[in-house]
Amino acid sequence: MKLKDSVAVVTGASSGIGLEFARTLVAHQMQVFGLARRLDVMNELRAEIGERFHPIRCDVRSEADVQSAFDAVLARAGRLDVLINNAGIGRFGDAAELEIEDWNVQMETNLRGVFLCSRAATPQMRKQNEETNFGGYIINIASIAGLLGNPGLSAYNASKFGVRGFSESLMKEVRQDGIKVTCIYPGSVQSAFSGQRESSTTNKMLPQDLAETLVHLLETRDNYLISELVMRPLRPRG
């Protein structure tokens, strides 16, 4: 896939990994629509990132917000080549003591948001496949917590395991439509992740590591698919 002038949507683009994704894709001359709830923050970031970064206020938990955001992307850009489902939140605690709201917000953000955005993107990508024989690329950011359960992370684990199952099913549903789906499972990353708890990992990966890998995925040949990718720091404790 050629990146220059391609159109990407990045959710959770106002900070952390999502912000680094946006910066990197703009540096590769893509048009990047950043989705997040903090529009004021993204508007300030646009001065830094450049005019190829287009902020849109969107709460990925809201069906109406998501549909409005994707309608705006298509109205302005006329196409959609890449969707990066990055928005996520963590609220940690033992299952027997976890507040219902903490469970709900993780399911709605981490899993429902991935579903809503993928559902909104797929029709346009299918249309593009009919025109050019390649539809686009959906990349879902899960977590090592989507592969391994841990005490105190039951809700977060459940949401990320859900992303894994959703990604595998979606990949099989749309691969014949020329749409790639990759699920990424990062280990510990230095970022302002919402709800991040204390970790024994002191030597974490950098957001740039994930962004460089993202570019590699996007630049692969159209008929080459990496459906799952696990990323870890080599020496987590230095």
* Spatial separation of the C-alpha atoms in residues 101 and 105, rounded to whole Å: 6
pLDDT at position 191: 80
Residue ranges covered by each domain of the chain:
7-231
Nearest residue to 121 via CA among 64, 81, 72, 167: 81
- The residue among 229, 124, 235 whose CA lies nearest residue 186 is 229
Taking 50 as the pLDDT cut, the residues of the chain under it are 194-195
pLDDT digit string (tens) for 48-77?
999 999 999 999 999 999 999 999 999 999
227: Cα separation from own chain's centroid = 14
pLDDT given for residue 234 in this prediction:
95
CATH architecture of 7-231: 3-Layer(aba) Sandwich (3.40)
Q: What is the pLDDT at residue 42?
A: 96
Measured in whole angstroms, how far is the alpha carbon of residue 68 from the centre of its chain? 18
pLDDT digits (tens, 9 = 90+) for 136-160: 999 999 999 999 999 999 999 999 9
